Amino acid sequence: MSDESREFHKPVRRPAELFDRRFAAEDPAEVSRVAHSTAQALLARARTDPDGEIVERLVAFTSEHGIDDIAELWSRSPSRSLPGALWRLYLIQLMIHDDPQTAALLYERGRLEIASVDPVVAGAPTPAGPDELVDLVDTILRGLFQGDFAVALDRAAAFSRVQASGASHLADDYEATEPERASALTTRALRLADYATDLTACAALWRRESLS
């Protein structure tokens, strides 16, 4: 990403800094209420935008503003809630934009190793390079606001599982020679696997009209 070189934009906070970050709140109940109401309002507004201009701004949000603004509202929401799902999607998007080369490496390794239909569900071309993965994650995020919300969540979950598979197998490769790198890859794999589980659950809740 090139935000750090843009003179008038807020610095982008890197994904590694955000996985375990906690934000202070004077009234957690009020923060939760605002998180849910803003997520619902944002989704409703985007779906009534006939020209798609709002959707494009939402897809490009982290490129323009970083992720602190939405993190303040959504990062502490339950993982299986509407703001929790949106938070995970934005964080995955930022991870891919931040380092598309590594993302492509993990995805291709995961695609070759995983024994499931997840690569097909995710919808990346074969093979998928850095540019293709950036386009894919933006397309998935766009689908949240314009298409079938549950399908977009399922695609994001499948994408995360492929990435997790790639990270796990690369961690095994580096275990003997670069243990620190192996540990970092294992941590990423576990987090992505958790995200995949949460996003799949959110998709099921959405289909039951129970995601709020």
Distance CA 51, CA 15 (A): 31
Distance CA 195, CA 212 (A): 18
Between the two ends of the chain, the Cα-to-Cα distance in Å is 32
What is the model's pLDDT at position 50? 66
What is the model's pLDDT at position 20? 35
Per-residue confidence of the chain (212 residues) as pLDDT tens digits? 433 333 323 333 444 343 334 444 457 777 788 889 989 988 888 888 867 889 999 999 887 777 777 777 888 899 999 999 999 999 999 999 999 999 999 999 999 999 999 999 999 999 899 999 999 999 999 999 988 999 999 999 999 999 999 999 999 999 999 999 999 999 999 999 999 999 999 999 999 999 99
Q: Which pTM value belongs to this model?
A: 0.84
- Amino acid occupying residue 119: P
Distance CA 103, CA 140 (A): 15
